[in-house]
Chain A
């Protein structure tokens, strides 16, 4: 929201500097995002009177003597065609800064500092300026559009600063207005807050006008969509004379970035800025049957807007129509067919309230965002709708661009709200919410400064809310108004003096998760976080089959890009992408993990809350191998106090010979393996990459608390066994049989594998350290018996012999 200081001053006596006002606005909830100094680039430019002017032969130049009052008289060479003795023009003295313009004398290219110079050998101590060189155009100052010198009024004082004369001594506040305050999306709205914060009286704009009897038959207005248009006011103005607007009006539009068109259209734009009510003017000639019908558009109905774009509408779009055709997209833009022309003589002015949701959807669907649609989207109140029409009629009278008639049609639907909101609020309750004691008298003063009507009865305030404050709903809103102006600095920190004690902290499950992360970090892994969404292409990358369960991913209906369009069903693609990125950046070694959710739907499209499962993804590359990764997975088992089993398995993106599924208490809980050579080649991986993914959600069910096992009084005994077995026999099988053969075996650990000349073909040697843990008695004398039993079992089950 842009508000020029000069315009605000029309409604409030502002006796503080722009910076002070910025701070005041900030304190009451209006952050000035940018304080723009209008003539910031211009300096050292004063009023100069040309007292001598003679042409330089053979050139278009004139050499002039310029009287700059107390600054002196300077010789200046000037190329403008309108330079002559007796005129007053802006004179940039040596050292001044002005804009430089392109060859067209209009486009600003930069800022230049004026130096002493010579033109065709003639000394020039400064420069006489055009409007463009001061950053002005015809709307900002009369005659500033001219390519020659900007002519100043005869009564301007020689040598005085140019800025106040041409309106460059202004500031523009670019204010961020919160969504609950649409009433402040206007100059007047901001002025009301300024008045309240400065404790000044607000000078309301003039809403008066005199209506003459309309000699016209009626204008019929029919609201067929009261849900989308709660209120519609039309007013007939005759004897319209289109002409340029006066300078003061053009200046105000220009400072807010609007171009002047002609008086009637300018008035509607002026009201939009001043009061925040978008208005529209229809040329009555073009309204067939002098009718206005407000209805939803037919599907496929077409309209060409003022900016000459054609739109095809749907049932969701609200249109303003005459007897035959749409003449405006409600709240967005008028149609070309009913535009105000230079020869327009009769006008129907529109001021209405359209539902914000409807305008937003239409503007968005059509890609047609206008100042008008922006205001309707934020919300317009009917108090302002009524006022806006009166103000527009006043301006028509003031500008003498038409005759205001008494033909006024006001359609109030059942959705229209014009009654004043009244509420009773206790002073005590407000102070109880704030936690401080604001005196009742001050509460009343603050509210009255904001145009609330207040009468006090004991502890209670009877409050009438200004009609434009639709955000005020209950006593907390009143409390907020009070503290906004009483000052948040008065809120002193307290520490829940009356609250009950609560028992905070983590649940067991949250603690287990923290512990898991602690262990992984202790093992040297870096934790990463990646987006919860990717695309089917990421699943393609890992060769998931078209019917793989991972493909059954939830689709985002409105993704930012196709790359982020489905909710992930596995973390593997995210991990692989991170590793690919690392390798491309020369990070040749790494160990990473991510604990995040996957999102699984029972059926697609989703119609119920999907399942969110925590998964643990691990990736290692560079100097690490499969067994490093397996070691990390084992640490996970350790963290949860469970045992994992590993079985060979195949996955589309992993090496079929170097992949295992992880089983916990008979349940598959994930996999680990090496990225297959095929995928590695496609991704141009320069290092072997190992990944694992564990279903942490499932593992939570298996997690066991740690318990102390009493120590045996007797020492453990270890024996090394070198075994000869078939090369196909797995380590896990042998371990299992050793455990099975003797209940005293507490640990079996492989320490050597040998295949080679020393052993017959088709066989391998595996050497294990077996640990026996005694219970209630020493076992040293029994170990030989245990070993014999173990060997017998191995021989019988797996045809394994002692080497």
Chain B
């Protein structure tokens, strides 16, 4: 390990930071310059766009279904199995299969990523709603609330932590897989990470750093959103 560290053309943090901000010569002699803030930003936005599209699609499909089933209390096995199986889907195989079967491109990739995002959102939506104290729900029903009102005013606010846990799980899976989007013909920060040939080892490290920052930023954003949406009456969880 040490020998490899010493002998590889060193990718240094300084080199990576330089890559992020100023264009460099490509590793391919005579090639165009690469790197620099514009290109980094472009690929970051591309990955962000892909992530948000996939999240949106996942929420659209999984959230209503999960909330409904959780409220009804039926389909527990279904939700649990989906949650577990979803976790088991190998990302590389999914991307490769989608690329070979339905083709490359943003639209197709969004569907593939949604396949990864749906299980955690669905399972957590179900569990979050279902685990709301029955006595509380009954009390609300006794007060004359409609089923929809119960869901909206009682169950969802109480399930916020669990719902957000599902959302964050989906985001992490989607961001991670969006990183290898270049394999399926869509630009993302994975272009840097998988493209040592063009971007050099500094570019690879730079890509990894920016992806990590992107993931952490989204995480913070959702954590903040969760805090915002958590009713002040509820004790803040140490999540």
Partners in one complex: no
